Amino acid sequence: MEVNMENDQVDTWNELTLVYKSALKEINTKLEILNDEFQHVHQYNPIEHIKSRLKTPESIVKKLKKYGLESTIENMVSYVNDIAGVRIICSFTSDIFRIADMLSNQSDIKVVEVRDYISSPKPSGYKSYHMLVTVPIYLSDKIVDAMVEIQIRTVAMDFWASLEHKINYKFEGNVPDYIRTELVECAHMVSSLDDRMMSINEEVRRLGGEAETEA
């Protein structure tokens, strides 16, 4: 898909990209600090790994088309909330809420919206905790609040979501019913696995140890 822009729009787009990239850096640094501090205080890392990405212009245009909107810079900023996206992968479900709380409690982060697909999974079986936040970016002559979509999920939820995403892509949304049903069943297995792994970890902690996950 081709994205055509006038010269002045290219300038605005480049500035926007810089702001969103900076927002990803800010959030990543905050997460690294929280993870390091958690390791220092509790000898435990709640975060397994972090992935961050800027949405490609092609996917932004595709999303605007889906919303029936024109591909303008204004529409991108106003209606596409996940231009900057961070995915945080944790070992246990309890870590998800711990990280969400720690981020929400930071005074410069404004939580715009929370979608808790852990407590209320999507009909597809999708589970994840989504937060839409803004973080201030200090430029030379102004402060800009940049929007970042944060998705927090366990390793098992992430495994399920990435396979389901690939399947949806392959079938362009028209996934055969029996595969959909199988995916919903697998999502239930993922939930049960997450619950059991968390129980084992809690039991080990109760016994005075810590079930370390691989570094």
Instruction: State in angstroms the smallest separation of the CB of 68 from ligand 0O2.
Output: 12
- In angstroms, what is the minimal distance from the CB of 34 to ligand 0O2? 22
Of 26, 48, 158, 164, the one binding ligand 0O2 (CB under 6 A) is 164
Say if CB 50 and CB 87 are below 8 A apart. yes
Closest listed residue to residue 212, CA positions, set 87, 46, 31: 46
Query: Sheet of 47-54: strands edge to edge?
Result: 47-54, 84-90, 143-154, 129-138, 110-116
Tell the smallest beta-carbon distance from residue 61 to ligand 0O2 (Å): 12
Candidates 109, 152, 161, 175: give the one binding ligand 0O2 (CB under 6 A): 161
Q: How far is the CB of 137 from ligand 0O2 (least distance, A)?
A: 22
Residue span binding ligand 0O2 (CB under 6 A) among the ranges 2-10, 15-23, 68-76, 157-165: 157-165
In contact, 188 and 125? CB cutoff 8 Å:
yes
Per annotation, catalytic residue among 26, 48, 149, 164: 149
| Counts of helices then strands in the chain (DSSP H, E) | 6, 5
Q: How far is the CB of 122 from ligand 0O2 (least distance, A)?
A: 5
Q: What would the two tokens of residue 38 be?
A: 């958690």
Give the 3-state secondary structure of 174-190. CCCHHHHHHHHHHHHHH
Q: Is 115 in the site for ligand 0O2 (CB under 6 A)?
A: yes
Burial grade of 215 (CB within 10 A; 0-12, 13-18, 19 or more): exposed
Among the listed residues 82, 95, 158, 194, the single contact to ligand 0O2 using CB under 6 A: 82
The residue range among 1-9, 30-38, 121-129, 172-180 that interacts with ligand 0O2, by the rule CB under 6 A, is 121-129
Q: Is 214 a catalytic residue?
A: no
State yes or no: residue 49 binds ligand 0O2 (CB under 6 A): no
Pick 48 or 82: Cβ nearer ligand 0O2: 82
Binding site for ligand 0O2 (CB under 6 A): 81-82, 115, 122, 124, 126, 130, 161, 164-165
> Which residue numbers are catalytic?
149
